[in-house]
Structure 1
Amino acid sequence: MDKAPDAFRTISEVAQELDIPQHVLRFWETRFSQIKPMKRSGGRRYYRPDDVDLLKGIRRLLYGEGYTIRGVQRILKEHGVKSVQGLADSAAAVSFGAIEDAIGASLMEPEEETGVRGSRDTDDDDFQGEEAEGIDFRFSETDDEEILTTFRKGGTAAPAGPSAIDRERLGRVLSDLVACRDMLDLALKDG
């Protein structure tokens, strides 16, 4: 028997509905202060309907639209909880002002969890040397399908999984990264 739409849900029910593990929901609670489940005896979590809609919107932004956690945090800060809750309906269009700026800014900022070492202090505009003649610095063509087949194939597809456009974009980015690595290897070899 299904619960009423306005009923509170346990973490296991929400995890099953969103098709994500419970530990991911607990992690999101630490990253998104707007998620506030009620906690009862024994620390059991109960999610309100608004919390479930917010989680659906966050899931769609992270998994369906490709945002980073920092990007979703910025959207919540700039556009509010209601705008993200509105994304719980899969037919709702994602339309935030300056959405590309938020993505770009979140990609430029280092993630807290990564612990990246050896970050560069120089800027590309400071480059004073000349480009080597005869080297084509454009990105080379690679077989996108070959790259994509290296990903682990899951079981049943999640409702908000990557679309064909996302796969194509991912393939282009991966081929660009391979070309960058080749250019760096060549520069280090010649240098």
Structure 2
Amino acid sequence: MEPALQKRIIPEKLFYKIGEVSEIAHVESYVLRYWESEFPFLKPRKNKAGQRVYTKNNLELILQIKNLLYNEKYTIAGVKEKFKNDSLKKKTVGIETIEEIKKKLKGILKILK
């Protein structure tokens, strides 16, 4: 398995600079900047000095993107489509969960009346 996909020890920090992310993910900084332009869901914040600061969530996304592109041989368009579909599935599951919670709450209200 690719080293970036194994359970890597990622230092517990609030934010990571681009050099740290590059080192952890084994991806050059210019590749990370390119991915930011291609994947709208990968948008690191910028600090007061204008430097990119990545969250742990950003880092996990980068590792997923790297796996899809380099190991599973997806294209950029394929990665975009996969994340779009995964996002839609999560939203659908979220809506179903909300509906289940509503039903349970209505049942509780009936019991309380």
**TM surpasses 0.5:** yes
Structure 1 residue 19 corresponds to structure 2 residue 26: yes
- State which drifts further: 5-14 or 18-27: 5-14
Q: Residue 73 of structure 2: SS of its match in structure 1?
A: coil
* Corresponding residue of 1:9: 16
Structure 1 consecutive aligned stretches of length 4 or more whose deviation exceeds 6 Å: none
In the aligned structure 2, how far is the partner of 1:66 from the partner of 1:17? 21
Q: 1:45 is aligned with what amino acid?
A: R
Determine which structure has the larger helix proportion and give its number. 2
Match of 2:45 among 38, 51, 72: 38
1:11-160 equivalences in 2 (<5 Å): 11-80=18-87
Residue deviations 1:122-173 (CA, integer Å, cap 9, x gap): xxxxxxxxxxxxxxxxxxxxxxxxxxxxxxxxxxxxxxxxxxxxxxxxxxxx
Report deviation, 1:44.
0.3
Which whole-Å CA distance do the structure 1 matches of 2:75 and 2:83 have between them? 12
Question: Displacement of 1:80 after TM fit?
Answer: 2.1
1:50-83 C-alpha deviation (Å, 9 max, x unpaired): 00000000000000110000000000111129x8
Q: Mapping of 1:155-170 within 5 angstroms?
A: none
TM-align CA RMSD: 2.3
Q: Quick one: distance in 2 between partners of 1:53 and 1:36?
A: 13
Instruction: Give TM-score, length-normalised by structure 2.
Output: 0.65
- Point out the structure with max Rg over C-alpha: 1
Q: Distance in 1 between matches of 2:11 and 2:67?
A: 23
